[in-house]
Amino acid sequence: MAKEQNTVGLTDVGSEHLRLTMETGWFDTELDACRVAMGVALSRGVVAPPDELVSKTTKYNLGTWDRDRCVSSVIEVVGCPPGEDLCAYSERLIQAGLGILATELSEEGALLSDVLERASDGEKSL
């Protein structure tokens, strides 16, 4: 059995999307932006493919990412793909969600409420 991951990382593209997202001023911390990104990805039913995350840099350890067990509770409800642990699945969701946030908040100039509203209207195809 594979060892469970205990860190959450970002690719260079994910890091750039996070930078663009933070420049919008909608989030106080990068951790908040990453958690919202995960929620947006879940709501829209999108997840980055595993091969998109081959080269990444550690951003958070599990104690920071899921300090209050809210993330793991959400993942338990929606279900984690077979053979994937909390951190690996979180990374894929964050990657997809940051792409959405960077595009809609930074490039399109949308309000955060608009992004969240679009998220709740999206198709769920996880």
Kindly list the averaged pLDDT for each block of 10 residues, start to end, along the chain of length 126. Answer: 77 96 96 95 93 89 87 88 88 96 94 84 48
Q: Is residue 71 part of a domain?
A: yes
Dist. CA 39–CA 78, nearest whole Å? 11
Q: Is residue 1 part of a domain?
A: no
With CA atoms as reference, report the closest residue to 20 among 39, 37, 5, 4.
37
* pTM for the predicted model, two decimal places: 0.87
* Domain containing residue 110: 7-119
Q: What is residue 81's predicted lDDT score, i.e. its pLDDT?
A: 86
Number of domains in the chain: 1
Q: What is residue 123's predicted lDDT score, i.e. its pLDDT?
A: 46
Q: Is residue 125 part of a domain?
A: no
Distance of CA 120 to the CA centre of its chain: 16
Q: Is residue 126 part of a domain?
A: no
What is the DSSP track for 24-86?
A: TT--SSHHHHHHHHHHHHHHHT----GGGGSS-EEEEEHHHHTTTSHHHHHHHHH-PPTT--H
* Cα three-residue angle 99-2-76, rounded to 5 degrees: 55
Q: What is residue 6's predicted lDDT score, i.e. its pLDDT?
A: 85
Q: What is residue 119's predicted lDDT score, i.e. its pLDDT?
A: 63
Q: What is residue 103's predicted lDDT score, i.e. its pLDDT?
A: 96
Q: What is residue 96's predicted lDDT score, i.e. its pLDDT?
A: 96
